[in-house]
Amino acid sequence: MTALDRIVSDLGTRNRWGYEPDASEAERLGLEVRERVRLRPAAEDVVPTALLVVDGQNDFCYPEGALFVAGRTGDGARGDLGRLAAWGYRNLDRLTTIAATMDEHFLYQIFHPAFWLTPEGRHPAPYTMVSPADVRERRLVPNPAVHTLVPPQRRDRRPAAEWVEAQAADYLARLAEDARYELTIWPYHCLKGGSGQNLAGILRQLMMIHAFARNAAPVLIAKGDNPWTESYSAVGPEVSRAFDGTPLLDISAARPHATVAHILRTHRRVVIAGQALSHCVLWTLSDVVRLVDAGEIAPPAIYVLVDACSAVVVRDAGGAVLVDYTESASAALQGLASRPYLHLVKTVDDVASWPAWGEGAP
């Protein structure tokens, strides 16, 4: 049994919250794979190919997580992750780069309960939907604690309380105008420095073994720490400017080499998977299509691993479904797949049979 066979056969025991891969062991395994299979360095790939994993983090991937994406099966993201990791090991020789996006949040962000207060001084419950009317009629108001988060470069220099009120109202209005989702109050998740923010252990192990086996640096794409906007898409925040014109910069803006746009421009094939299909994966794909339609990038061949993504399904304590985004996500994905460069595929399929995979290959 080869090193890769041993790794794949043991994925089930390691696909869990708390699994911590050892970098030295990953190096040993990666070098063993390189020697046995005689893998060339990734820099020599004639057709650069990237695997982009959207938010494969503990809080989304495991039942212990704050925002486990269970899907309709109940095992959703955990099962997706196992299939994705096995696929990644089977295709190490085809992957030039493995990149992973990571939600990074603070307690006080516009989509967390602590940001808002009811007239009684309470925080709204998770999964509360917030409309422009809720703010206009003051059924919810920003918590005074967020006044300290007002950008220092705000142009009008008005008092912080006024800036916050104006920004919250403008943000909700912009979401409505752009036909985005209504603002959802999510449970506290992917908090910076917490175990829930970490990439799932088997994904980190895959990235490290690939790095050593192919002599290639993994890429981490941070997103989501601006308190004034959601950042479902890994391309950029939902709203990029405040009401006064000041930019709502995503943290990745300072690292141009670690962005989705850079991955798209430097690879001829990009395989996408992750969580949740109905939110971060779908909005990332939507923004990629927008960039292509606007002529900002020439599209690589894009492949979405549909059996390595799940939609958000929210159930109550008794198991009854409260919210199910499965159908709407599937319909939106099918619409995006009408583009000739975007293909829906599965991990069980031989990549050589994927549409346009062989075009330009040696």
98 & 120 share domain: no
| pLDDT more than 70, % of the chain | 94
145-149, 222-226, 314-318: range with lowest mean pLDDT: 314-318
The residue type of 39 is L
pLDDT-derived band of residue 245, with 50, 70 and 90 as boundaries?
Answer: confident
Q: How confident is the model at residue 320 (pLDDT cuts 50, 70, 90)?
A: confident
- My answer on whether 127 and 275 are in the same domain is no
Angle 111-115-120 (CA atoms, 0-180°, nearest 5)? 120
Number of Cβ atoms within 10 Å of the Cβ of 231: 27
Residues 177 and 237 reside in one and the same domain = no
Per-residue pLDDT, averaged over 307-330, amounts to: 90
Q: Given 121, 153, 184, which residue is the final one in a domain?
A: 184
Is 254 part of a structural domain of the chain?
Answer: yes
Q: 196 and 325: one domain?
A: yes
Average pLDDT of the residues in 143-171? 86
Residues 6+ apart with CB under 8 A from 153: 246
CATH number, residue 283: 3.40.50.850
297 occurs within a structural domain? yes
Q: Can you give the pLDDT at residue 247?
A: 83
Does 149 or 6 have the greater pLDDT score?
A: 149
180 and 213 co-located in one domain: no
Query: How do residues 92-121 score in pLDDT, each as one tens digit?
Result: 999 999 999 999 999 999 999 999 999 999
Predicted pLDDT at 359? 67
Is residue 333 over pLDDT 90? yes
Indicate if 60 and 99 belong to the same structural domain: yes
Lowest-pLDDT range, 44-48, 76-80, 218-222, 231-235?
231-235
What six digits make up the tokens of 195? 């175990």
What is the number of structural domains in the chain? Answer: 2
361: in domain: no
Token pair listed for 187: 């449970």
**Residue 257 has what pLDDT?**
67
CA dihedral 77, 81, 82, 85 (to 10 degrees): 170
CA atoms of 17 and 1, how far apart (whole Å): 27
Query: Are residues 78 and 120 part of one domain?
Result: no
For residue 28, is pLDDT > 80? yes
Does residue 359 fall inside a structural domain?
no
Domain co-membership, 78 together with 222: yes
Helix (H) or strand (E) run with residue 282 in it? helix 282-293
Quick check: 57 and 199 in contact, CB under 8 A?
Answer: yes
Is residue 157 in some structural domain? yes
Looking at 142, 162, 184, which one is the last position of a domain?
Answer: 184
Evaluate if residue 25 carries a pLDDT over 80.
Answer: yes
Residue 358 lies in a domain: no
Is the residue at 362 inside a domain?
A: no
Domain extent, residue 21, equals 3-105+189-353
pLDDT digits (tens, 9 = 90+) for 86-99: 999 999 999 999 99
Q: How confident is the model at residue 362 (pLDDT cuts 50, 70, 90)?
A: very low
Residue 255: what pLDDT?
62
- What distance in Å separates the CA atoms of residue 313 and residue 180, rounded to the nearest whole number? 18
Based on the fold, state whether residues 313 and 198 are members of the same structural domain.
Answer: yes
Q: Is 206 found in the same domain as 176?
A: no
What pLDDT, on the 0 to 100 scale, is given for residue 314? Answer: 86
Q: Which of 184, 203, 224 is the last residue of a domain?
A: 184
Same domain, 339 and 283: yes
Do residues 258 and 120 share a domain? no
360 within domain boundaries: no
